[in-house]
Amino acid sequence: MYRGSSIIALCIPKAYEHTEFVAELNESLLEYGYRLVIYHTCSDLYWNTESDMVEKTVFDLIDFDVIDAIVIYEEFYHDKQALQEVAARAELHNKPIITVGAESSRHINIVLDDERGFELVVRHVIEEHDCSNPHLIAGFQGEYHSENRIKVFKKVLRENDISFTDDMLSYGDYWFGPVRDVVNSLIEREKMPDAIICVNDTTAITACNELQGHGISVPQDVIITGFDGIREAQYCTPPITTCHYDLPALVQEIVKNIRLALQGQIVEGIHSVDFVLDIFSSCGCERKIPLPNFGQIARENEDAFYGYFEMQRKLYELTEKAVACNDAEEIAERLRQVDFGNCMIFLKQTYFDNKINPLVKSEELDQDDSLCVLYTPDEESIPLFSVCKGNDMTPCWDILIRENRPLVLTVLGFWSNSLGFIASYFQMVEHEYRKINQYIAAINILLGCNQNVRYIKYTADYMEEMAKHDAMTKLYNRKGFYAALPDLVRCAIDRGMLLAVVSMDADNLKYVNDTLGHENGDYVICSAANALRGLALPHAIYGRFGGDEFAACIAIDRDVGEENVISMIQERIRLINENHDKSFSISVSIGVQKCVPDDFDFDSAYNQADIKMYADKKTKRKKA
């Protein structure tokens, strides 16, 4: 719940295909003061690709501290496992779960009785039109829905004393190519069927067009029927008799169960929704449903078509300009030049972290939960670059409460990384909801191209850093050390500090290498490096000049003596010896030369520190 309003989540793919359902559901929920947020994927998660993996992360945005109930439209998804994981999370939070098109003993299940719906179509053809030689074009052989509709077809034939024979069935794979081949094979038969019953409308439209292309009239010569009730079925000549699920009944069943659940009256089990027969003229009946205004439809489609390509042009220009952007501010400035309308764009803050390889799936990117606003139509209410931590999506919830439209959340991503999301609240019509996929695709390409450019820079920077550092200890090598010196000298001058130049050498390294092995010798070298690094001083640089020879330059306060610097390093060595399990102790010899930073000459100071270091080593040998 948010600000006194119950928030209902809907998981659904390809929202542009379901705008009528979304609009009716939203309207019904608003009657009870509920708000609808849609967790949306651009695909139905069929291919299980890296892109699908990224898309599924939209479900990670579900905040069950805000969401009061969740509707999962499982009928339209192929990846059932992802939906089961969403349901499992909802169960952990004791949130009501309504699934559409699935059956689970633990949830409220609403199923679309498509077997009964398909039976309506078959009975209409066989019993109302007295067809005795029908042919069924099924989908994929062995596919669940296709096989169920074959059973229905055989059942109705049997009940009407018509013997089923194998030549009454073909498989069209739900696609125009195989369907066209099936129809052509039927035309070549000595006797054409008197009716072609198709398992979906796309199959029926293809069959109708193919028959008419061969001069065969529909319905005078052959009856054609479809199933699913898509709008394109009405646009055929003749319009296709079909069947669609009862949309108002489905929405009513969903909302009724949400209300009962929120009142603590959860009724788990299966609730069935019937189909409605759409009688048009492809079966020979006088159509019972008025035809749409095709002129208006053509005009709307033309407007949407040109609007789509005009936006594509703008998005292409945006991508060109944004490829070389270096930070969030630059990309935001580019985005502001395109009117995205009623949507907000959020991007992970780590996107511009130059320490992270942009083209490698990064745990740092996955673990980061901070998102900043890169685009908003209302910068006064939702400032650019405002940050959302974790699942705190307050800007989105504020929009949801303010508007009467659903909030649609869709993930942005590239190269297996989820990078952010778009929150849109468009008008609930197809051409508006299609913008979601268009924007997602364009911004993903923009971010991908930008990441490629940043990867080149990252690689160049990484190679440069490698050239400056010692591979074993990760301290500066001589080249890197000298490159970093000027900044440290300027820092010391600006802060009124002195410089301590350190020469350090590991003791007895040859003995360790010769008697205990080079692995232990490497341990000595790395331990000496860690002793310097462990000083954690704010203004210092450390280097390995070769073998067991180390150098440091440290900005120190004027009252710090050379002995103090030596003591700090020796204390780090002592701690290392206390905590390792080797059979030997690590020892280093140290020399320090204190200098003023003005007219600083490192080489001269390092030579003096080196002399002191060898004196320290010589003293230890005498004592030994």
| One domain, residues 146 and 192 | yes
Q: What is the pLDDT of residue 486?
A: 96
Mean pLDDT, rounded, for 292-301: 82
CA atoms of 81 and 471, how far apart (whole Å) = 45
The CA angle 188-189-195, to the nearest 5 degrees, is 105
Quickly list DSSP for 381-405.
TS-TT-EEETT--HHHHHHHHHSSS
Q: Are strands 169-171 and 134-138 parallel, antiparallel or unpaired?
A: parallel
Does residue 196 lie in a domain region? yes
Which CATH number fits the domain that encloses residue 102?
3.40.50.2300
- Give me the residue label for tokens 């913008």: 435
Per residue in 35-85, pLDDT (tens digit) is 999 999 999 998 888 899 999 999 999 999 999 999 999 989 999 999 999
Q: Is the pLDDT of residue 365 over 60?
A: no
Q: What is the pLDDT confidence band of residue 366, given thresholds at 50, 70 and 90?
A: low
Does residue 270 lie in a domain region? no
Supply the DSSP symbol for 224: E
| One domain, residues 58 and 197 | no
CA contacts within 13 A on the Cβ side of 73: 22
| One domain, residues 493 and 576 | yes
| One domain, residues 157 and 44 | no
Does residue 471 lie in a domain region? no
> With pLDDT > 70 as the criterion, what percentage of the chain qualifies?
97
Quickly list DSSP for 85-138.
HHHHHHHHTT--EEEES---TTSEEEEE-HHHHHHHHHHIIIIIS--SSEEEEE
Least confident of 40-49, 68-77, 321-330, 474-483: 321-330
CA atoms of 527 and 504, how far apart (whole Å) = 12
Q: What is the pLDDT of residue 111?
A: 92
Sign, CA torsion 588/593/594/598:
negative
Q: Is the pLDDT of residue 363 over 60?
A: no
Q: What is the pLDDT of residue 378?
A: 85
| One domain, residues 493 and 548 | yes
CA atoms of 573 and 134, how far apart (whole Å) = 91
- The H or E element that residue 377 is part of is none
Does residue 148 lie in a domain region? yes
Pick the residue with more confidence: 288 or 26?
26
Pick the residue with more confidence: 522 or 389?
522
| One domain, residues 122 and 172 | yes
| One domain, residues 501 and 607 | yes
Mean pLDDT, rounded, for 297-323: 87
Q: What is the pLDDT confidence band of residue 266, given thresholds at 50, 70 and 90?
A: confident
Does residue 256 lie in a domain region? yes
Q: Is the pLDDT of residue 360 over 70?
A: no
CA atoms of 472 and 479, how far apart (whole Å) = 15
Number of structural domains the chain divides into: 4
Q: Return the C-alpha torsion angle 201, 205, 210, 216, nearest 10.
A: 100
Containing domain of residue 41, as a range?
Answer: 7-109+249-265
Mean pLDDT, rounded, for 519-534: 96
Does residue 468 lie in a domain region? no
Mean pLDDT, rounded, for 505-526: 95
Preceding amide of 96 cis, omega within 30: no
| One domain, residues 333 and 314 | yes
Does residue 206 lie in a domain region? yes
Quickly list DSSP for 453-491.
HHHHHHHHHHHHHHHHB-TTT-SB-HHHHHHHHHHHHHH
| One domain, residues 28 and 151 | no
The answer to whether the beta carbons of residues 118 and 227 sit under 8 Å apart is: yes
Mean pLDDT, rounded, for 106-118: 91
| One domain, residues 191 and 305 | no
CB environment 486-520: b (16+ within 10 A), e (fewer): eebbebbeeeebbbbbbbbbbbbbeebbeeeeeee
Per residue in 333-351, pLDDT (tens digit) is 999 889 999 999 999 888 8
| One domain, residues 364 and 497 | no
The answer to whether the beta carbons of residues 332 and 388 sit under 8 Å apart is: no
Q: What is the pLDDT of residue 367?
A: 56
The answer to whether the beta carbons of residues 321 and 353 sit under 8 Å apart is: no
Contacts with 579 (C-beta within 8 Å, 6 or more apart), sequence order: none
What pTM was computed for the model? Answer: 0.79
Q: What is the pLDDT confidence band of residue 292, given thresholds at 50, 70 and 90?
A: confident
- Give me the residue label for tokens 């067991």: 548
Q: What is the pLDDT confidence band of residue 491, given thresholds at 50, 70 and 90?
A: very high
3-state secondary structure of 344: strand
Q: What is the pLDDT confidence band of residue 362, given thresholds at 50, 70 and 90?
A: low
Per residue in 171-223, pLDDT (tens digit) is 999 999 999 999 999 999 989 999 999 999 999 999 999 999 999 999 999 99
- The H or E element that residue 597 is part of is none
Q: Return the C-alpha torsion angle 58, 61, 63, 69, nearest 10.
A: -10
Which CATH number fits the domain that encloses residue 602?
3.30.70.270
Q: What is the pLDDT of residue 295?
A: 84
Q: What is the pLDDT of residue 621?
A: 83
| One domain, residues 100 and 143 | no
CA atoms of 332 and 281, how far apart (whole Å) = 54
Per residue in 391-430, pLDDT (tens digit) is 678 889 999 999 999 999 999 998 778 899 999 999 999 9
Preceding amide of 13 cis, omega within 30: no
Mean pLDDT of the chain: 92
Mean pLDDT, rounded, for 218-240: 94
Does residue 519 lie in a domain region? yes
